[in-house]
């Protein structure tokens, strides 16, 4: 299979860390920057009103004719109702590739937005995900009515990056890897009564991981980072909106990305990755409280250092410093030597202490100032720290020590 995975947005702007947090928060905003509020997001992305699985009725006659011809050519003298599930899948895949019938061809161009089923059918070409939408539509025409598509996100541990993958279907109780681009398929040798039963099965998870490794062309160790499935056409629709959200996110169209990711969620894609992407879009729009709420949902689905990093930064910008301290502390459980996270924790503790001081909660302030010292001292004495990191940590430590002396005098 060509190396064609579901797009995963790249982090175009990392959360500001440590001293950067404080400086960015205090810096005046660009006067020309558009003010974003939750209310201003109401009328967005008319593209999300499109049904990506809808085909114009004018194609009906051609589709029926080509499927009938395919039946005669590949399964002569057999009615469609006599075909097994596997034979129906073979029929659709063969008809899609046959140049005398549909003649679909594979083409992938990540620089353009994903195509709807209507656009793919008219052009007779698409990438794996676009051709999968056509497969589902034609599958229904030959009696494959119970089709669900899995969406999988893998973590490449050797490269430290995530990548997405589609093409695994649950069809009438059986599971198939189906690649409409190359007319190939593989069947998992076990049936399941429900999608959840399949996703919980370890042998299935190993099987789908093996497919991800083979079809992506990667050579390192990969593992399932996130997996889900949505019944029927809604699954294809959700994947389309997710892909469109990724495309617009990569092009820094934050509001469009947000609308599309939320549309994917609405269609049933309720995975950690979707919640994280929605949070990222809100984060880029400076809607930090909204971003934090989605990052919270992401970490409930999957504990991940990167998710906690964004969660902490969102809470910090929303001036909820106590929650920021919790999030950065959780991040450090996964990355105990991450100096940026250590500086973020020290800075968040300092801000939480200052806020407690302003609120008259001197005992709380003392606790947070003391908590700030440990991560800051670790950076200050770490031989691997850069000069700037050490200078920032030492400067903040001096401030913390000064405030602690004041507090000790007041508490006595």
Domain residue limits, the chain: 319-412
Confidence of residue 261 (pLDDT cuts 50, 70, 90): very high
Top pLDDT among 31 and 115 is at: 115
Confidence of residue 244 (pLDDT cuts 50, 70, 90): very high
Average pLDDT over residues 376-395: 91
Nearest of 270, 356, 285, 282 to residue 321 by alpha carbon: 356
Model confidence at 63: pLDDT above 90: yes
What is the structure's pLDDT at 46? Answer: 56
Identify the three-state secondary structure at position 137: helix
| Residue 133 to residue 120: CA distance in whole angstroms | 9
Category of 18 on φ-ψ map: left (φ > 0), alpha (ψ -120 to 50) or beta:
left
Q: Are 303 and 332 in contact (CB under 8 A)?
A: no
Q: Are 336 and 330 in contact (CB under 8 A)?
A: no
| Residue 373 to residue 390: CA distance in whole angstroms | 13
Token pair recorded at residue 364: 């709380």
Model confidence at 21: pLDDT above 60: no
| Residue 281 to residue 235: CA distance in whole angstroms | 22
Identify the three-state secondary structure at position 185: strand
Category of 372 on φ-ψ map: left (φ > 0), alpha (ψ -120 to 50) or beta:
alpha
What is the model's pTM? 0.84
Length of the chain counted residue by residue: 412
Model confidence at 390: pLDDT above 50: yes
Average pLDDT over residues 159-174: 82
Model confidence at 395: pLDDT above 90: yes
How many CB atoms are closer than 10 A to CB 70?
A: 23
The pLDDT tens digits for 328-362 are 999 999 999 999 999 999 999 999 999 999 999 99
What is the structure's pLDDT at 18? Answer: 42
What is the structure's pLDDT at 47? Answer: 64
Nearest of 106, 251, 263 to residue 184 by alpha carbon: 106
Beta bridge partners of residue 105, listed in sequence order: 125
Nearest of 43, 8, 35, 6 to residue 249 by alpha carbon: 8
Helices 128-141 and 60-74 pack at an angle, to 10 degrees, of 80
The pLDDT tens digits for 306-336 are 999 999 999 999 999 999 999 999 999 999 9
Model confidence at 17: pLDDT above 50: no
Strands 222-231 and 125-126: unpaired
| Residue 297 to residue 278: CA distance in whole angstroms | 10
Q: Which of 32-36, 246-250, 265-269 has the lowest mean pLDDT?
A: 32-36
| Residue 154 to residue 282: CA distance in whole angstroms | 24
Q: Which of 31-45, 231-245, 270-284 has the lowest mean pLDDT?
A: 31-45
**Which residue in this structure is represented by tokens 């959700």?**
238
Q: Which CATH class is domain 319-412?
A: mainly alpha
Cα-trace Rg, the chain: 26
Residues 6+ apart with CB under 8 A from 60: none
Model confidence at 71: pLDDT above 50: yes
Q: Which of 159-173, 202-216, 246-260, 280-294 has the lowest mean pLDDT?
A: 159-173
Identify the three-state secondary structure at position 188: strand
**What proportion of the chain, given as a percentage, has pLDDT over 90?**
60
Q: Which of 160-164, 210-214, 393-397 has the lowest mean pLDDT?
A: 160-164
Top pLDDT among 88 and 220 is at: 88
Model confidence at 49: pLDDT above 50: yes
Confidence of residue 9 (pLDDT cuts 50, 70, 90): very low
Q: What is the 3-state secondary structure (H, E, C) of 362-388?
A: HHHHHHHHHHHHHHHHHHHCCCCCCHH
Model confidence at 158: pLDDT above 70: yes
């Amino acid at each position: 299979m060509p190396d064609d995975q579901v797009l995963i947005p790249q982090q175009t702007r990392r959360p500001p860390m440590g001293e950067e947090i404080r400086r960015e928060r205090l810096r005046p905003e660009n006067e020309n920057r558009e003010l974003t509020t939750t209310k201003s997001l109401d009328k967005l992305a008319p593209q999300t009103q499109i049904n990506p699985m809808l085909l114009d009725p004018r194609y009906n006659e051609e589709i029926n004719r080509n499927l009938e011809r395919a039946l005669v050519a590949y399964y002569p003298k057999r009615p469609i109702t006599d075909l097994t599930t596997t034979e129906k899948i073979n029929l659709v895949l063969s008809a899609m590739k046959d140049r005398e019938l549909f003649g679909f061809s594979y083409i992938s161009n990540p620089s353009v937005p994903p195509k709807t089923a209507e656009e793919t059918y008219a052009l007779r070409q698409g990438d794996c995900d676009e051709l999968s939408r056509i497969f589902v539509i034609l599958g229904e025409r030959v009696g494959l009515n119970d089709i669900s598509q899995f969406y999988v996100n893998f973590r490449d541990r050797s490269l430290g990056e995530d990548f997405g993958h589609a093409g695994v279907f649950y069809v009438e109780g059986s599971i198939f890897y189906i690649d409409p681009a190359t007319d190939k398929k593989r069947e998992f040798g076990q049936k399941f009564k429900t999608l959840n039963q399949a996703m919980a099965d370890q042998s299935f998870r190993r099987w789908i991981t093996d497919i991800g490794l083979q079809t992506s062309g990667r050579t390192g160790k990969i593992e399932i980072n996130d997996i889900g499935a949505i019944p029927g056409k809604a699954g294809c629709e959700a994947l389309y909106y997710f892909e469109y959200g990724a495309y617009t996110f990569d092009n820094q169209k934050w509001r469009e990305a947000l609308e599309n990711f939320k549309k994917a969620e609405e269609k049933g894609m309720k995975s950690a990755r979707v919640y994280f992407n929605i949070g990222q879009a809100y984060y880029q729009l400076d809607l930090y409280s909204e971003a934090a709420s989605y990052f919270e949902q992401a970490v409930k689905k999957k504990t991940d250092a990167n998710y906690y990093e964004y969660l902490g930064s969102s809470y910090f910008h929303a001036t909820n410093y106590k929650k920021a301290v919790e999030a950065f502390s959780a991040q450090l459980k996964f990355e105990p030597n991450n100096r940026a996270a250590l500086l973020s924790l020290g800075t968040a503790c300092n801000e939480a202490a200052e806020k407690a001081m302003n609120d008259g909660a001197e005992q709380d302030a003392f606790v947070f100032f003391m908590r700030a010292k440990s991560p800051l001292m670790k950076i200050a004495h770490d031989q691997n720290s850069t000069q700037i990191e050490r200078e920032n940590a030492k400067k903040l430590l001096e401030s913390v020590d000064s405030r602690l002396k004041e507090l000790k005098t007041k508490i006595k």
